[in-house]
Structure 1
Amino acid sequence: MSQVPNLEAAVPWDDKRRAETLLRLFAVGRENSGSTVMFHSAVAAKQGLNPTEEKALDLLERHGPLTAKDLAERTGLAPASVTGLVDRLAGKGFVRRVKHPTDKRRVLVELNREKIAHLFAFFEEWAREIAAACEEFSTDELDTVIRFLQVMTEEQRKAAARLGA
């Protein structure tokens, strides 16, 4: 980035404590976002993937087989980019194209579960570490974090859609 965003201009300063908290939230959020991107880049690289490919596998794992159109909608990628993405993942053996069960004109992209089994094992270990780190928080605090992340995820999707428009 050539310029640092002026986040202070976006913060209402009529409540100084809230404004300072929001600025801290922006700073921590940026740090978290950066570490998340780097984490997924490292995971992807271990598998010979790029981060977009790794996150596409995550979508398929969470939602089951999807059409290329579904992948385009969920990733925000252009259809031609999704075609290239699926071609690369299929070429590496991570996914396969299968006929749609009810509409033979459509094709689904499904995971090759045998190929990604070791990747899931890594995430299971990581999930245990995260669960242990959450021990210091009450269930109510975790519920608040979940609600916050749901709202922020939706805002991030809207921002990405605006960039793609």
Structure 2
Amino acid sequence: MNVELGPLKPEPAELIVGLLCFFLMFWLLGRKVLPRIDRVQAERRDAIEGREERAEGLREEAERIHRAYRQELADARHQAARIRQEAAEQGAAIIAAAREEGVRERDRLVAEANARIAVDQALAAVTLRQDVGELAVELAGRVVGESVSAVAARRDTVERFFDER
């Protein structure tokens, strides 16, 4: 071979050894290094995409839990409102019962007081009649100048006077 390469004049043995080394390195890269690089890249991609998928799964799980929490919270608020309503109704019933009991007690006390007043009035009227009668007889005796109590008692003058009124 007589190829003119200019100032570069490689020796054919060096050229063959260089080409053999080049192809050997190319073969080693293709067989050993590149598959490892591809495997590492695949692992990285899997780790990244796997994390994204796990993150998406965790996000969906968190959203599901959040929805369940909000539902439970809404249920708890509804139950609290129902309990408040029941308590208000019970309170109103207790107040009404207490008011009714108070009215009954008031009516009972008023009736007892009226009965006591009527008894006291009757006793006062009897006592007053008796006292007025005695005073009237005594006054009449003073006016006449002698005792008229025997005549008044015999004729029931004072009693007739009060009966006429």
Q: TM-score range by the shorter chain?
A: under 0.3
TM-score normalized by the length of structure 2: 0.24
Write 1 or 2 for the structure with the bigger share of strand: 1
Determine which structure has more spread, i.e. the larger CA radius of gyration: 2
